[in-house]
């Protein structure tokens, strides 16, 4: 039975409904024995804990739990900086939305796909199909293939809807220096870069940048793979513990960060602090979490979350904003952490009220009261915690915080925690009933996103603004700490604590408390260890003494090797590329105008600059950070930096090429407006043939003049721009909407140097504009050109991602 694009056969509709109902069904308890039940989507401890916390009203509980046990609908975001963002949005609105809606039951009020009402400009979309349904249901195949292709190209990012929210509340501007502290897998970093590039014109770069950090090397690789689709020169990826993110502090005055930021320390305008958490807000996406859920996970992460957030606040500029977020519903990981941050910062940080922003986003206020669960017992105050559990249950977990020292001494302690009358009066907490605490901080300004409000996952968000420098911390020298430790041991006192802090941070007034054991509200006094550790990075002379970047090459070979390789084993060094002969040859060969700076903006990951295979372009802001990093002894462990813009290549047949470096596909959009040589405008039909056949002889082009001009180019890399109609003008303007590809000009043909998937994407986009690719008056326009390619050899590690060898 035939059908139009907007209609479906009765058989197909029935098949679709069966798939939609049966793709993902929770197993019945009686169907399988408990040990083999894959997704046991119930947990009595979970129910008891969250009912006790009152995260939803008793009337809502059933609907909340019912939705929490259903699979999460797929969501995705259109890359607003993509060349085809308007086309993709139009395709969703005018093609897929009505097409998929015809498959939905007539009585179903939900749209098959729809834009998220709170996300600006209809760039984020919600689907009522789960990921598994998209994979398994044949009726959704076309839509699924569309999502896969556009995601791989980088035109869209598949991301949970609530995960898109935190970057929107950061209020990122194009000139901001932004830190994403726990960035992997990278969807929020991608979103931050989109916002950064939002108002940037073709061929230019924003003044700001993003540093994306993650602790795990493998997750960093995942992050890099995700971000490469963005094609940005304004990014550095680092590999550090977030709670110990380097200070990059320089003792001497310098203006490395530029005249607008005369500072000797790397500080940030915006910080995204999306901390590691128990993740029970993702139960719909990962139903196996039901079986593993317990209160101990959230309690165990509480201290780390405070440390990471405090570190973020310490390297945030005064006036800057930090968003603290988790994908957890647990108040111990959420409100309790925010309350402790406000408590430690003593008024220097404000919890911002953002209730008027994104009005269509349904959110609930943060909690002001909650309970701490330990071994099945619900506790309302730190006064209830037995001494044997104080190393696990911390005062900062409770709404009003507190101190175990004050509890033990009944408020009559000296500075070392000893009772003034020599007798400690410890009362048995079990003998008392304590009133439930209510936090004194305006925690209702926090946001809780719950699944049944907008058919999503769960998320917690708090926006913090730094009003003044953080309060100073009394820092003791190593000698003082050692002496105090000896005295403490002699008198049997275990409560004396030593502050472990980076020496370079002592000079400035904002000091990060690197560990929650290092602060005045230390709860875990019973288990304190008096073993001050000085960070090897900051204790070395190399980390403290500034060096002139330009003088690196003028030191002894052994010293030069140490400086280039840095202290990070297994990570390729970042080296400024300063071979003037190669830089001049690149500029001359492509006719790159002087408005596009190359000197000081090219880096490589190879310390042997004579054998460089790839050159990466960096923005001015990234350049400033790299120079500062060199000056402080390479404290940043950089795993990825910049945009790959040039790659070494030569003809397989050994023909001489004037310029050994070709332009990469990812670097082309940036440099395209600045190229004046080796560039041609092709008619739509010839452009289409290049994408289809990958290699075309000069004589086989539909437009003979274009073939002649291509033959007259210098051998090597060239750029072909999609023109209008059958015109190949002598001079043409390149703008934000220009479509171009990198090619290789051989002796008799042009070869496309673009991946197959990019060719497929461009062809599909051109076919959606038939008036621009179908031309009359040429009898050979649909004739397949000869395909005798002259192979080109990629001088790389063997990964020919940008080359289609014919």
CA distance 270 to 317: 8
Burial of 315 (0-12, 13-18, 19+ CB in 10 A): buried
Tokens standing for residue 55: 């995260």
Q: Which residue has the tokens 């289409």?
A: 688
Query: Which residues lie below 8 Å from residue 240, measured CB to CB, with a gap of 6+?
Result: 213, 215, 246, 636, 637
Q: Would you call the peptide bond into 185 cis, given omega within 30 degrees of 0 as the criterion?
A: yes
- Respond yes or no: is residue 382 known to be catalytic: no
CA distance 64 to 51: 11
* HEC per residue, 435-494: CCCCCCCCHHHCEEECHHHHCCCCEEEEEEEECCCCCCCCCCCHHHHHHHHHHHHHCCCC
Q: Is 394 left (phi over 0), alpha (psi -120 to 50) or beta?
A: beta
407's enclosing H/E stretch is helix 404-409
Q: What pairing do the DSSP bridges indicate for beta strands 316-326 and 268-274?
A: parallel
3-state secondary structure at position 316: strand
Max Cα-Cα span within the chain? 106
Query: Which residues lie below 8 Å from residue 802, measured CB to CB, with a gap of 6+?
Result: 647, 664, 665, 742, 753, 754, 755, 794
CA distance 617 to 583: 12
∠154-626-643 over CA atoms, to 5°? 25
Q: Break the chain down into helix, strand, coil percent, rounded to 5.
A: 35, 15, 50
CA distance 314 to 179: 12
509's enclosing H/E stretch is none
Q: Which of 552, 473, 544, 479 is nearest to 513 (CA)?
A: 473
Stated length of the chain: 806
- The single residue of 231, 248, 277, 327 carrying the catalytic annotation is 327
Q: Among positive and negative, which fits the CA dihedral 187, 193, 198, 202?
A: negative
DSSP result, 746-769: -SSEEEE-S-HHHHHHHHHHHHT-
CA distance 130 to 147: 13
10 Å Cβ neighbour count for 769? 11
Q: Which of 580, 570, 632, 626 is nearest to 603 (CA)?
A: 626
Could you give the C-alpha distances from 672 to 486, 665, 691, 709, 754, in angstroms and in order?
67, 11, 19, 19, 15
> Which residue stretches of 60-174 are H helix?
61-68, 85-91, 97-101, 131-136, 141-153, 165-168
CA distance 204 to 482: 55
CA distance 587 to 569: 35
The answer to whether 731 and 762 have CB atoms below 8 angstroms apart is: no
> Catalytic residues, which ones?
327
């Amino acid at each position: 039975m035939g059908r139009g694009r907007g209609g479906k056969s009765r058989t197909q509709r029935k098949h679709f409904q069966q798939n939609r109902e049966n793709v993902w069904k929770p197993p019945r308890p009686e169907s399988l024995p408990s040990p083999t039940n894959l997704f046991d989507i119930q947990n009595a401890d979970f129910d008891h804990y969250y009912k006790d916390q009152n995260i939803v009203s008793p009337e809502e509980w059933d609907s909340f739990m019912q939705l929490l046990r259903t699979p999460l609908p797929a969501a995705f975001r259109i890359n607003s900086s993509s060349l085809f963002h308007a086309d993709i949005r139009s395709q969703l609105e005018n093609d897929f939305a009505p097409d998929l809606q015809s498959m939905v039951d007539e009585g179903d009020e939900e749209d098959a796909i729809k834009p998220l009402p709170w996300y600006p400009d209809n760039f984020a979309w919600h689907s009522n199909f789960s990921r598994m349904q998209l994979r398994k249901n044949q009726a959704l195949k076309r839509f699924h293939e569309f999502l896969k292709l556009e995601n791989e190209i980088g035109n869209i990012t598949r991301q949970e809807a609530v995960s898109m929210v935190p970057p929107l509340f950061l209020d990122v501007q194009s000139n901001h220096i932004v830190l994403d502290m726990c960035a992997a897998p990278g969807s929020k970093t991608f979103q931050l870069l989109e916002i950064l590039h939002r108002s940037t014109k073709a061929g230019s770069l924003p003044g700001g940048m993003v540093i994306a950090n993650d602790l795990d090397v493998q997750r960093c690789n995942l992050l890099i793979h995700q971000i490469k689709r963005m094609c940005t020169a304004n990014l550095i990826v680092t590999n550090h513990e977030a709670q110990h993110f380097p200070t990059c502090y320089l003792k001497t005055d310098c203006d490395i960060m530029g005249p607008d930021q005369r500072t000797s320390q790397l500080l940030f305008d915006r910080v995204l602090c999306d901390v590691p958490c128990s993740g029970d807000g993702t139960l719909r996406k990962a139903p196996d979490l039901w079986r593993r859920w317990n209160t101990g996970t959230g309690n165990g992460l509480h201290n780390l979350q405070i440390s990471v957030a405090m570190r973020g606040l310490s390297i945030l500029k005064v006036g800057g904003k930090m968003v603290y977020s988790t994908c957890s519903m647990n108040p111990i990981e959420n409100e309790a952490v925010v309350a402790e941050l406000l408590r430690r910062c003593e008024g220097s940080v404000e919890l911002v009220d953002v209730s008027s922003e994104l009005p269509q986003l349904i959110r609930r206020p943060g909690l002001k009261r909650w309970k701490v669960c330990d071994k099945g017992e619900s506790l309302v105050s730190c006064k209830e915690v037995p001494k044997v559990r104080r190393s696990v249950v911390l005062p900062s977990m409770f709404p009003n915080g507190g101190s175990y020292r004050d509890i033990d001494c009944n408020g009559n302690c000296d500075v070392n925690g000893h009772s003034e009358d020599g007798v400690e009066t410890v009362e048995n907490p079990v003998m008392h009933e304590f009133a439930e605490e209510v936090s004194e901080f305006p925690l209702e300004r926090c946001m809780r996103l719950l699944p049944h409000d907008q058919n999503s996952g769960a998320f917690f968000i708090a926006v913090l603004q730094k009003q003044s420098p953080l309060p100073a911390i009394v820092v003791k020298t190593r000698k003082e700490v050692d002496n105090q430790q000896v005295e403490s041991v002699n008198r049997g006192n275990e409560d004396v604590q030593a502050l472990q802090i980076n020496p370079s941070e002592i000079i400035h007034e904002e000091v990060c408390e690197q560990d929650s054991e290092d602060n005045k509200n230390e709860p875990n006094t019973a288990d304190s260890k008096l073993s001050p550790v000085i960070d090897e990075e900051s204790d070395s002379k190399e980390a403290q003494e500034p060096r002139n970047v330009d003088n690196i090459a003028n030191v002894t070979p052994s010293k030069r090797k140490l400086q280039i390789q840095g202290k990070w084993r297994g990570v390729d060094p970042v080296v400024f590329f300063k071979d003037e002969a190669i830089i001049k040859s690149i500029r001359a060969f492509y006719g790159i105008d002087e408005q596009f700076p190359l000197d000081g903006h090219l880096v490589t990951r190879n310390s042997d600059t004579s054998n460089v295979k790839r050159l990466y372009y960096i923005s001015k802001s990234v350049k400033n950070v790299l120079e500062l990093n060199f000056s402080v002894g390479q404290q940043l462990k950089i795993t990825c930096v910049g945009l790959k813009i040039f790659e070494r290549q030569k003809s397989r047949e050994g023909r001489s090429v004037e310029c050994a470096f070709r332009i990469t596909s990812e670097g082309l959009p940036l440099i395209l407006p600045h190229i004046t040589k080796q560039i041609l405008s092709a008619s739509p039909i010839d452009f289409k043939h290049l994408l289809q056949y990958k290699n075309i002889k000069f004589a086989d082009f539909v437009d003979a003049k274009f073939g002649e001009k291509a033959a007259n180019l210098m051998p090597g890399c060239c750029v072909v721009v999609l023109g209008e109609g059958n015109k190949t003008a002598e001079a043409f303007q390149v703008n934000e909407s220009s479509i171009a590809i990198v090619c290789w000009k051989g002796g008799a043909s042009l070869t496309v140097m673009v991946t197959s998937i990019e060719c497929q994407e461009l062809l599909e986009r051109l076919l959606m504009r038939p008036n621009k690719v179908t031309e009359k008056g040429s009898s050979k326009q649909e004739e397949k050109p000869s395909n005798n390619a002259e192979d080109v050899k990629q001088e790389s590690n063997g990964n020919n991602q940008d080359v289609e060898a014919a």
